[in-house]
């Protein structure tokens, strides 16, 4: 075992014991101070979703700027779009606005990524080798 191997279970046990005593310190999901229509968890969800939603945007912008799909592969964007559709369904099931909003935008961005790649790849194949 490495040096941390023996200490890890003891540290985890101490953390678990400490967390059990923090029951009264939990965050109450009251209305946000920014807007009374949103709860704090929705505000955090909206902020957190921003980063993951727009993670694929640089690839899309690179394809559009270069007008070429060279060096890009749509596999990751296609996989992400499919699973983000499941996140939308999940968001509908739990009525979570941030999950729905960000994943709808992410599906649009990832689908546009795949479409742009397909368009420029087809255009290149019609043009033939350089």
Highest mean pLDDT among 45-49, 52-56, 114-118: 114-118
Enumerate domains of the chain plus CATH numbers. 27-127 (1.20.1280.290)
Quick check: pTM over 0.85? no
Q: Which of the 8 DSSP states describes residue 72?
A: -
| Residue 8 CB contacts under 8 Å (≥ 6 apart), including other chains | none
The pLDDT tens digits for 64-87 are 999 988 888 888 888 888 999 999
Asked whether the predicted pLDDT for residue 90 surpasses 70, the reply is: yes
The pLDDT tens digits for 9-22 are 877 777 777 767 66
The model's confidence at residue 127, banded by pLDDT at 50, 70 and 90, is confident
The residues facing 31 across adjacent strands are: 39
Asked whether the predicted pLDDT for residue 61 surpasses 60, the reply is: yes
With CA atoms as reference, report the closest residue to 79 among 101, 56, 47. Answer: 56
How large is the average pLDDT for residues 33-54? 75
């Amino acid at each position: 075992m490495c040096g941390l191997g023996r200490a890890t279970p003891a540290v985890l046990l101490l953390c678990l014991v400490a967390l059990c005593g923090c029951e009264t310190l939990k965050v109450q999901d009251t209305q946000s101070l920014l807007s009374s229509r949103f709860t704090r968890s929705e505000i955090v969800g909206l902020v957190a979703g921003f980063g993951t939603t727009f993670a694929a945007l640089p690839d899309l912008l690179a394809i559009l700027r270069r007008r070429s799909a060279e060096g890009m592969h749509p596999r990751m964007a296609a996989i992400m779009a499919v699973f983000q559709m499941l996140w939308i369904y999940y968001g509908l099931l739990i009525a979570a606005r941030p999950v729905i909003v960000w994943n709808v935008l992410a599906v649009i961005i990832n689908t546009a990524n795949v479409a742009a790649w397909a368009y420029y790849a087809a255009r290149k194949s019609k043009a033939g080798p350089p």
